[in-house]
Each structure stands twice: as structure tokens, then as C-alpha cells.
A and B are shown apart, each in its own frame.
Chain A
Amino acid sequence: MIVTFLDIVIAGLLLGGLYAIIAMGLSLQYGVARVLNISHGEFIMLGAITTWALRTAFGINPLLSLVLCGPAAFILGFFLHRTLFKRLMATSASPGIFEGNSMLASFGLLFVIQNLALIAWKSDIKGYSYLAIPVNLGGALFGANRLVTLGFALLIGVAFYIFLTRTRMGKGIRAAAQDPSTAGLVGVNINRVLAICFGLGAAMAASAGMLISMSYPVNTAMGMEYTIIAIIVVVLGGLGSIPGSFIGGFILGVIGSIVTYFDPGLALVAYYLIFILLLLLKPTGLMGK
């Protein structure tokens, strides 16, 4: 009984690591740049499929493709914010209107990215095998690739936390998260900071996609599911709180794992129930202000 419980928790943590980086990416885009990026999952899909394509076409190690996918996604996100969302920010009368408009624009992005990917890669399910060696962990077997995923998720999380707390740019980001206009007054180049946040969010999504492709099959329609999970985790952790998103990811992973143990069909239902209850009872989340 205790061993089973431990298995469930470990499986949940493995899943939670993924959720944590996905949510941290969205938290940067929504919590700081105020763009509820519905196309977040599409960046995950792009990362996953590029990794798969590089692996099958050139035999490139998935972990190595991070070096390519991460910066590429960053540039794409940075560029998108500089063109699309910056213009929207200038034309929207109030922050509330900007939130609505930017969300609609990201809906458009979702369709554009997803269908470009469908034209390029078709809709079949793709997969490759990497590090699929069973590892004994507390009496249960887990794939080595999933442990690597967790390791990377923790690494990205910690590195990012250090970036936020120790560097000048990180300070700028935190200031922008608290109050964008005041941050602009005290000398933070707000447009640049927001674009960087959006780019970093995209880069995190692409890295998460790379990690997902190591353990799960991927296809061009996979993005939406992760977008929804990211939104749930961000609300769970508290809007604008990046540590909240990190912790929230693990909490949701463990909950998902427990529910799956009893009835796999109810995992998503449980996520939505938590989400809806949370919105009704505590919309500020666990660590929100």
C-alpha cells in the first residue's frame, strides 16, 4: 500500500515537472506581459515536432536540440511581441481591453501556427525512442527519459529563479510584473522587458515540448491540452507568481496521478473541477496577492 502510494506520488512528480515549466512559461506571458497566450501549447508542439524531426532526419540527440529550439522560440516570441502585441498595447484603450484583444490575437496565432504545422507535418502521431531504459525507483520502474525530464524541469526552474532574483533584467521583469507603468517611470525599458518575457515564455514552451517528445508520442494537435493545463496551473499557483506556477505544476501533477490511479477517464475532469472551484472560491490562487 505504501509502495503503491509512493509510486503514484513519484509518477505525479515526474508529470508535475513538465507542468511546472509549461506553466512558468505562460506565467511570464500572462503574469507579466498580460497576454493570455492561448497559442502557448502550439509553441510546445513546435518544440516537440522539431525535436522529433531533427532526431529522425539527422539523428540529433534530443537534449542537444534544446540549443536550437530554445533560442529559435525565444526569437519568434520576442518578434511576435515586438510587432503584434506591442501594437495592440498601443491601440487598446485600457489594460482590460488589451487583455481581451491580445487573447483574441493569440487565438489567431493558434490557428496560424497549428495549421502551418499541419501543412508541413500532417496530423499523424509521431514518436521516437530515447533513453527508454527502466530505472528502479522505490520499488517501481520508471523510464530513464522521464527522470531526465524531471531533472531538466528542475534545472530550468532553478536557473530561471536565479535569473529572476539575481540579475538586473530579472529585477526589471519583477518590477514590470508588479506595475508596468511605474516600472517604466523608474527606468525599466518596459517594451523590451515585456518582449523578453514573451520570448522567454515561448522558449520555455519549446523546451517543454522537447522534453515531452522524449517520453510521449507527439502530433500537431497536441498543443491545446497543454495550453489548458498551463492555464489551470497558472490560476492554481496565483496569477503573476512564478514560484506559484512552479509549485502548482507539481501539485497538479500529483493530483492527476492520484486520480488516474482510480479512474484514468477522470483525470481531465478532475483538473477542470479544481480549476472551476478555484476560480469560484479563490481566484487569486495559492500564492497570489
Chain B
Amino acid sequence: MNNLALISKNFLVRGAILLVGLVVLATLPFYSSIFATIFLSTVFMYIVLTLSWAIFSGPTGQISLATAAFFGIGIYISATLGNHLPLLLVVLIGGLASTGMAWLVGSLTLRLKGVYFTIFTFGLLELMKYLLLWFEVSFTGTRGRFVVVVDYNTVYFIMLAIMVLTLLTAYWIRRSKFGMALQAIGQQEEAAEHIGINITLLKVSTFAISAFFIGAAGAIMATRWTYVDPYIAFNMNYSFTPVLMAIFGGLGQLGGPVLGAIIFTYLEQILITKFSYYYMLIFGIVMIISVLYLPNGLAGLTLQWRSRVMRGKYAHS
């Protein structure tokens, strides 16, 4: 009884904090600087990419490097349809096109074990990049395209909405039967199959759902660049960065990837213009250290620390 009250109280406090945070973020452009608005849109973008990656790769343990491919699809949807259709529709189509691609790729390749899947997704990114480049040069005659320009406040609000949607989806997937089944697959695939989980369907649909947000984010963020070509749109770093952010932040909790994304976006912001080599160097070093010493990431570390402090307070149940 006492425990229940504690949980619901905790829940209420957390909910209130989240709500206040959301209200602050939603009204931010009205009183903050342009810089903050633009910077936060980038933070949201990375949170979306990282969380989407974590939705699929976290529980299943299959490392996807297709993030940049889905992101690029969104960008190119924006570049080709941006002038003809309303913005929200373009974002929706960007997300759906990525979902479609993820569904196709997933149903073809998710039977592949372990690193083969990783290699395949990486190959997919490069295949799309060079195929598009060849197409553009041979048929349209130019390498790049101009993207319709949207003002930064609109970008901010749409990006915020996509982020909230991604967070809600990630939360829902973790808590639902769906997410439990996904976790079971990651831990012991054969056992999961034996208790009647449709492995392929579950994996493919999760992969497709997570790709939606990546594509949508690509479609809206493309408007910030005004000009894109296949090298910009299908940049490998959009595949690597989310992996690092998620692993550094920790895959065990929902907050982990968010934390990782915030820290690294901030680092990128202060380092990339003047010391871009050093940023990427730090990036590499942190990646190695995280893999070696932080199996549960920063979030895992804080959890460990908290359980040590709290140990006297609540017994293990």
C-alpha cells in the first residue's frame, strides 16, 4: 500500500516535470534567441535519430547502420516534393517512404545473423548514395538540388513534435507486450520463437516504425540546408553518430540515448567549426572507452550509483 502510494507519487512528480519541460520547450521560440532555437532543433534531430536507432537496435542487439539511408530518403523527399506539397505532408511522406524502405530491407535481411545485417545496412547506404549520384549526373544533369526554405521557428516546432512522438513511441514500445517480446528475441532468439513470438514480423515492424521518425526528421531538416547532393544527404556520419550517442548514453533506459544525444550535440556545436578534427577524435576515443568500460552507458552509471546510495533505503524485492 505504502509502496503503491510511493510509485504513484513518483509518477506524478515525473509527469509534472515532463509537462513543465514540454511547455517550456513549446513556447521557447517566443522569448529565446534565434541561436537557441536553431541549436535546439539540432538537438531534437539527434535525439530522434538516436532514439529511433535505440528502439530497434537496443532490445534486439542487431546494430543497424541504415540510419543515414532513411535520413537521406527524407531529405530527398523534401528536395523533390518540397515545392509542390504542403510542408506537413512532405514530412509525412518522408517518414512513410523511409518506413516502406525499412520494411522492404528488413523483410529481406533481418534473417541475416549478427554483423551480416550491419554490413548489409551499411552497404545499402552506399548503394543508395552512388545510385542516386549516377542517376542525377546521367539523367538530370546536375549533382545537387535546391530545397525549399522554411523559417527556423517552423522547423523547430515540427522537429519538437517529431521528437515528442518518438519519445512516446519509444516509451510505449518498452512498456508494451510488443517490447517485451522484442527483448526476449534479443536475449534468446530460439527460446522466443518457441514461446510463439513471430520473430520476423516483430523485428521488421519495429525496424519500419523506427525508420518513420528518421525519415520525417530528414524531410524537415533538409529545409535548413537549402542545397543538397547525394554526398550531403547520405552522409555516413548520420549512421555512426546515433550509435555512439546511444551507447555512450546507455541503452538500458529511455533517458540514456537522450542524454547521449544532448551531450554530443553540444560538443559538436562548440568544437565542429574550429576544431572539427578534434571533435571527431574525441568522438572516436569516447566510442572506444564506452564500449570498453561503460557497457550500460552514462545512464547505467547513474543507476548504479543511485542503487548504491539507496541501498539502505529499500531492500531488493
Q: Is A bound to B?
A: yes
In this complex, the interface size class of chain A, counting residues with CB under 8 Å from chain B, is: 35 or more
Q: Measured between alpha carbons, how far is A143 from B116 in the docked complex, in Å? A: 38
Interface status of A125 (Cβ within 8 A of chain B): no
CB distance B115 to A105 under 8 Å?
Answer: no
As a 0/1 sequence over residues 279 to 317 of chain B, the CB contacts with chain A under 8 angstroms (1 = contact) are 011011111100110010000000000000000000000
Other-chain residue from B109, B113, B115, B240 in contact with A107 (beta carbon distance below 8 A): B240
CB distance B115 to A268 under 8 Å?
Answer: no
CB distance B119 to A235 under 8 Å?
Answer: yes
CB distance B124 to A276 under 8 Å?
Answer: yes
Other-chain residue from B118, B130, B133, B240 in contact with A272 (beta carbon distance below 8 A): B130
**Complex interface: chain A residues within 8 A of B236 (CB):** 224
Interface status of A134 (Cβ within 8 A of chain B): no
**Complex interface: chain A residues within 8 A of B108 (CB):** 280
- CB within 8 Å of A: which B134-155 residues: 134, 137-138
Query: Quick check: which of A56-64, A111-119, A147-155, A200-208 contacts chain B, the rest being far away?
Result: A111-119
**Complex interface: chain B residues within 8 A of A119 (CB):** 277-278, 281
CB distance A272 to B127 under 8 Å?
Answer: yes
Q: Measured between alpha carbons, how far is A109 from B116 in the docked complex, in Å? A: 20
Q: Measured between alpha carbons, how far is A114 from B281 in the docked complex, in Å? A: 8
Q: With contacts A103-B115, A265-B138, A272-B123 known, is A84 near B277, CB below 8 A? A: no
- CB within 8 Å of B: which A217-267 residues: 224, 228, 231-232, 235, 263, 265-266
Interface status of A6 (Cβ within 8 A of chain B): no
Other-chain residue from A100, A114, A280 in contact with B114 (beta carbon distance below 8 A): A100
Other-chain residue from B120, B126, B284 in contact with A110 (beta carbon distance below 8 A): B284
**Complex interface: chain A residues within 8 A of B138 (CB):** 265
**Complex interface: chain A residues within 8 A of B109 (CB):** 279-280
CB distance A104 to B287 under 8 Å?
Answer: yes
**Complex interface: chain A residues within 8 A of B287 (CB):** 104-105, 107-108, 111
Total cross-chain contacts (CB, 8 A) = 111
Interface status of B61 (Cβ within 8 A of chain A): yes
**Complex interface: chain B residues within 8 A of A100 (CB):** 61, 63, 114-115, 118
Q: Measured between alpha carbons, how far is A99 from B118 in the docked complex, in Å? A: 11
CB distance A99 to B284 under 8 Å?
Answer: no
Question: How many residues of B are in contact with the other chain, CB < 8 A?
Answer: 41
**Complex interface: chain A residues within 8 A of B127 (CB):** 269, 272-273, 276
CB distance A99 to B119 under 8 Å?
Answer: no
CB distance A104 to B283 under 8 Å?
Answer: no
Interface status of B131 (Cβ within 8 A of chain A): yes
Q: Measured between alpha carbons, how far is A178 from B122 in the docked complex, in Å? A: 27
Interface status of B243 (Cβ within 8 A of chain A): yes
Q: Which residue of A lies closest to B57 (CB)?
A: A100
**Complex interface: chain B residues within 8 A of A103 (CB):** 63, 115, 118
Interface status of B34 (Cβ within 8 A of chain A): no
CB distance A276 to B292 under 8 Å?
Answer: no
Other-chain residue from A96, A104, A118 in contact with B243 (beta carbon distance below 8 A): A104
Other-chain residue from B130, B243, B280 in contact with A268 (beta carbon distance below 8 A): B130
Interface status of A191 (Cβ within 8 A of chain B): no
CB distance B114 to A99 under 8 Å?
Answer: yes
| Most chain B CB neighbours (cut-off 10 Å) among A109, A235, A269, A280 | A269
Interface status of A283 (Cβ within 8 A of chain B): yes
CB distance B292 to A269 under 8 Å?
Answer: no
CB distance A112 to B120 under 8 Å?
Answer: no
CB distance A108 to B284 under 8 Å?
Answer: yes
Q: With contacts A87-B292, A91-B295 known, is A111 near B284, CB below 8 A? A: yes
Q: Measured between alpha carbons, how far is A275 from B122 in the docked complex, in Å? A: 11
As a 0/1 sequence over residues 90 to 125 of chain B, the CB contacts with chain A under 8 angstroms (1 = contact) are 000000000000000000110011111011101110
As a 0/1 sequence over residues 72 to 109 of chain A, the CB contacts with chain B under 8 angstroms (1 = contact) are 00000000000010011001000011011101110111
Q: Measured between alpha carbons, how far is A269 from B277 in the docked complex, in Å? A: 29
CB distance A109 to B120 under 8 Å?
Answer: no
**Complex interface: chain A residues within 8 A of B280 (CB):** 111, 114-115
Interface status of B247 (Cβ within 8 A of chain A): yes
Q: With contacts A276-B120, A276-B127 known, is A104 near B63, CB below 8 A? A: yes
Other-chain residue from A108, A269, A279 in contact with B119 (beta carbon distance below 8 A): A279
**Complex interface: chain B residues within 8 A of A228 (CB):** 122-123, 126
Interface status of A21 (Cβ within 8 A of chain B): no
- Closest Cβ of chain B: how far from A203's Cβ, in Å? 22
- Closest Cβ of chain A: how far from B50's Cβ, in Å? 15
Other-chain residue from A105, A235, A273 in contact with B291 (beta carbon distance below 8 A): A105
CB distance A265 to B133 under 8 Å?
Answer: yes
CB distance A104 to B116 under 8 Å?
Answer: no
The contact sample of 5 A-B pairs, CB cut-off 8 A, is A101-B291, A103-B63, A104-B63, A113-B284, A265-B134
Known contacts A104-B287, A268-B126, A279-B119, then 5 further A-B pairs from the complex at CB < 8 Å, ordered by chain A residue:
A88-B291, A103-B118, A104-B243, A276-B120, A279-B112
B residues lining the A interface (CB < 8 Å): 61, 63, 108-109, 112-116, 118-120, 122-124, 126-127, 130-131, 133-134, 137-138, 236, 240, 243-244, 247, 277-278, 280-281, 283-288, 291-292, 295
A residues lining the B interface (CB < 8 Å): 36, 84, 87-88, 91, 96-97, 99-101, 103-105, 107-116, 118-119, 224, 228, 231-232, 235, 263, 265-266, 268-269, 272-273, 275-276, 279-280, 283
